[in-house]
Amino acid sequence: MDKIKIKGGKQLIGKIYISGAKNAALPLICASLLTDETVTLTNMPMLSDINAMNALLKQLGTQIDAFDDFIDGHKTKTYSYRTPKLTSLVAPYDYVRKMRASYYVLGPLLAREKRVELSLPGGCAIGARPMDIHLSALEQMGAKIEIKNGYVHADAGEGLKGAHIIFRFASVGATCNILMAAVLASGTTKIENAAKEPEIGDLIDLLNEMGAKISGRDSSVLTIEGVKKLHGARHKVISDRIEAGSYAVAAAITRGRIELLNADASTLQTPINVLRKMGVAVEEKENALIVDARNKELTGQDIMTDVYPGFPTDLQAQFLALMLTSKGASMISETIFENRFMHVPELLRMGANINVHGHASAIVRGVDKLYGAPVMATDLRASFALVLAGLAAEGETIVNRVYHLDRGYELLEEKLKGVGADIERIKEPD
């Protein structure tokens, strides 16, 4: 298993190009299952989660072509997806176990083929993460759902029917799945308390480009008029707001200055406000964000995660790391997942001062210095928080289990090296 070695203490200065958003790309790939025509996605990030989703779709009968592409002089991927015929309606355990987002095939397969078998994802490092909201909505649309041998067996009989669905919680995954189920259902579906994350807006755009009739984008009430058939489309994936937020913290924690090219400031307003309150200068440009913490003394701020446009849970670990070397105390509250402070014990080993209260909140008190150490984390964002602490720490930090980072941060070492970090990957056999 590869490791990452960081020699900390370098002020990061320069430009980083922000990639296409992983969490937008994953449901977009699955939306291609709704048509027998070609769906082409540009600005795709090169990540192991994308490879895993592609492998699942191939197993279902999708033909995939990959092309190297350049956007504004930066290398990206374009993928074409074509599923003339589904050769399997089963999302097996081995795929879903590796990547929970595999459950995005549920809505499209049920809509197109009226039947699907999906291995239940089960819990993961950050919490239990049940699927009750997805399943109860599909039942309201007429699907018969049975859980047998660890699999969800869903059968929509003659086809899904439009329904008035009120989510008990604004789940990102359930909103995507039910959107994809409803586009080919008979009649109109209304989703109340839908999630409003920008990745959902991107999915709505692609579905409408494919011929769907969805209104209410960016609001918590979505109306979907079912259509008989969808067609192919070509679509550019939005830029990754979590990657941009993560590198914004890299600038701040090293008291450096980074221009985040291809970043969309409109999707990052809450984290940008936190940075500004801490004392970081953030300039919003048309297609970029400039984060400047040179010669700044940063002050800790309280943060509470919430659904969009609240503070993203996917930036909680990185901002907690930033509070470690900021002045004063900060309270970090996690309201989305029940177990998302797994990075704390590792940060303590680097000299941090953090008290976790139950599962939901942590008090961070700023320290003068962090010290490098061997560390490891159990999820993607927590792993990035350890990289950040390593960049700020005195001495050498080895981050183990780099495969977590490879799921969601494209060209991580290259991007950080490009702004002056002393970072390298140590290749090790698995």
Contact set with ligand EPZ (CB under 6 A): 23, 26, 101, 127-134, 169, 171-174, 313-314, 336-337, 380-381, 408
Which C-beta is closer to ligand EPZ: that of 171 or that of 325?
171
Active site positions, annotated: 124
CA dist 312 and 323 (Å) reads 16
Which C-beta is closer to ligand EPZ: that of 115 or that of 129?
129
**Sign of the four-CA dihedral 365, 371, 373, 375:** positive
Which C-beta is closer to ligand EPZ: that of 76 or that of 313?
313
Q: How many angstroms separate the Cα of 76 from the Cα of each of 53, 236, 380, 411?
A: 17, 11, 21, 11
CB of 340 to ligand EPZ, least distance (A): 8
Q: Got the DSSP string for 171-217?
A: -HHHHHHHHHHHTTSBSEEEEES----HHHHHHHHHHHHTT-EEE-T
**Those residues with Cβ within 8 angstroms of residue 246's Cβ, 6 or more apart along the chain or in another chain:** 315, 318, 381, 384, 388, 409
Pick from 143, 138, 137: nearest CA to 167:
137
What single letter denotes the amino acid at residue 240? D
CB of 308 to ligand EPZ, least distance (A): 7
Angle of helix 172-182 relative to helix 106-113, nearest 10 degrees, comes to: 10
CB of 174 to ligand EPZ, least distance (A): 5
CA dist 402 and 32 (Å) reads 30
Q: 3-class SS at 127?
A: strand
CA dihedral 151, 157, 162, 168 (to 10 degrees): -30
CA dist 63 and 82 (Å) reads 5
Which C-beta is closer to ligand EPZ: that of 25 or that of 275?
25
Q: In sequence order, which ranges of 14-64 are alpha helices (DSSP H)? A: 22-31, 48-60
**Those residues with Cβ within 8 angstroms of residue 273's Cβ, 6 or more apart along the chain or in another chain:** none
CB-nearest residue to ligand EPZ: 173
Which C-beta is closer to ligand EPZ: that of 222 or that of 290?
222
Which C-beta is closer to ligand EPZ: that of 37 or that of 306?
306
Look at strands 329-333 and 361-365 and give their pairing: antiparallel
